[in-house]
Amino acid sequence: MNQNLQVDGLSAATGLDLLRQMWEIRLFEDRVYDLLGRNVIKGASHLYAGEEAVAVGAISVLRDDDLITSTHRGHGHCHARGAAIAKTEEAKQEHYERMMAELCGRETGYCLGRGGSMHIADVEKGNLGATGIVGGNIPVATGAALALRLRSGEAQQDNGRVVLCFFGDGAAQTGNFHESLNMAGLWGLPVVYVIENNLYGMSVPIGHAAARGGASWSARRTAGTATPAPTRASTARATKRPRGRPATPSQALPAGWWTAGCAPRTRSTPSRPGPKRPSNAPQSSP
Ligand SMILES: Cc1ncc(C[n+]2csc(CCOP(=O)(O)OP(=O)(O)O)c2C)c(N)n1
Ligand SMILES: [Mg+2]
């Protein structure tokens, strides 16, 4: 291999490794699709095909002791995290088999087959888990980052660890998102929020679910989703600051995703007389 070759700013070896991971995720997902159709995997599954570059690029800059939290569409995150930590071909193979076993409800799966597709977790490798509750992983990531921050003074090995929190544009409309980012910003927590903006909340176009197209908050750090290099570069930039930051309050929000283009606006609906209350209606309790 030509050692000087650069692909998208990456060395050829790194580029090939990331591409291999993306193909592994795609082939895994194609297999899951097939097994769902044959009722070998039971229930529903949200596939990650088409978004592989986000997980692979972002996770490629993590340290082995960092943490991630995942979504209802979580096979790709689990796959990329496990593949990045597993150092040998045998360890990678075991990782894929434990994932597939979990989806098939087998005891050999990561959660003994109890979690399945939407609740797969691999805590030993720093994957705190997927969740079927849209936006449910955002406070989990924020809490984990708070734990890292609180422990960083005591345990040297916790210094510089970060949490990477994946979620969709739909989840970014939840209260969990707003509260978590507010607290993370206030406390300067070592967490980076990665919004996978595929412009749909499953089948609902983002314009139906979010004011102003929903994408304005991510404008400052928008990365492409077709290749892993932009996500890798964005995540590397975003993790740099929280890794080295001392615990001081009133910092700007950690990853800067939220702050762009978010002008506060308040507007009242014109007052109209409400429906007439029947005279025998029960009085509301104080
Ligand atoms: C709290 C909650 N509300 C609603 C749902 C139903 N639901 C499942 S996926 C989804 C859309 C999520 O959109 P987004 O976060 O953009 O992720 P995407 O599916 O686009 O990857 C919804 C509303 C849910 N699982 N949890
Ligand atoms: Mg979406």
Instruction: Say if ligand 1 is within 6 A of residue 14 CB.
Output: no
3-state secondary structure of 127: strand
Q: Does domain 8-244 have CATH number 3.40.50.970?
A: yes
CA distances from 26 to 19, 20, 67, 76 (A): 11, 10, 23, 9
Q: Which ligand 1 atom lies nearest to the CA of residue 135?
A: 1
Looking at residue 275, its pLDDT comes to 60
- Average pLDDT value for residue range 128-140: 97
Q: Which ligand 1 atom lies nearest to the CA of residue 197?
A: 16
Q: Which of 29-33, 186-190, 241-245, 279-283 has the highest mean pLDDT?
A: 29-33
Taking Cα atoms as reference points, which of 251, 260, 257 lies closest to residue 185? 251
Q: Print the SS3 string covering 135-167.
A: CCHHHHHHHHHHHHHHHHCCCHHHCCCCEEEEE
Residue owning the nearest CA to atom 23 of ligand 1 = 201
Instruction: Say if ligand 1 is within 6 A of residue 130 CB.
Output: no
Q: Which ligand 1 atom lies nearest to the CA of residue 132?
A: 25
- Ranges 63-72, 93-102, 160-169, 235-244: which has the least confidence: 235-244
Is the Cβ–Cβ distance between 162 and 191 less than 8 Å?
Answer: yes
CB within 8 A of 187, min separation 6: which ones? Answer: 146, 149, 247, 249
Q: Is the pLDDT of residue 286 over 70?
A: no
Domain coordinates in residue numbering, the chain: 8-244
Report the separation in Å between the CA atom of 57 and the middle of ligand 2, taken as the mean of its atom positions. Answer: 18
3-state secondary structure of 216: helix
Q: What is the pLDDT of residues 55-114, one digit of tens each?
A: 999 999 999 999 999 999 999 999 999 999 999 999 999 999 999 999 999 999 999 999
Q: What is the DSSP letter of 200?
A: E
CB within 8 A of 92, min separation 6: which ones? Answer: 82, 83, 86
Report the separation in Å between the CA atom of 222 and the middle of ligand 1, taken as the mean of its atom positions. Answer: 21
Instruction: Say if ligand 1 is within 6 A of residue 169 CB.
Output: yes
CB within 8 A of 215, min separation 6: which ones? Answer: 169, 197, 199, 206, 222
Residue by residue, DSSP assigns 239-261 as: HHHHHH----SSPPPSSSTTTTT
Taking Cα atoms as reference points, which of 52, 27, 79 lies closest to residue 227? 52
Neighbours of ion ligand 2 (CB under 5 A): 168-170, 198, 200
- Largest distance between two CA atoms of the chain: 86
Looking at residue 283, its pLDDT comes to 52
Q: What is the pLDDT of residues 4-16, one digit of tens each?
A: 777 778 898 999 9
Is the Cβ–Cβ distance between 195 and 172 less than 8 Å?
Answer: yes
Looking at residue 279, its pLDDT comes to 62
Percent of the chain with pLDDT over 90: 57
Only one residue has tokens 């509750």, namely 133
CA distances from 12 to 6, 76, 144, 147, 217 (A): 6, 22, 35, 38, 33
Instruction: Say if ligand 1 is within 6 A of residue 29 CB.
Output: no
Instruction: Say if ligand 1 is within 6 A of residue 201 CB.
Output: yes
CB within 8 A of 112, min separation 6: which ones? Answer: none
Instruction: Say if ligand 1 is within 6 A of residue 168 CB.
Output: yes
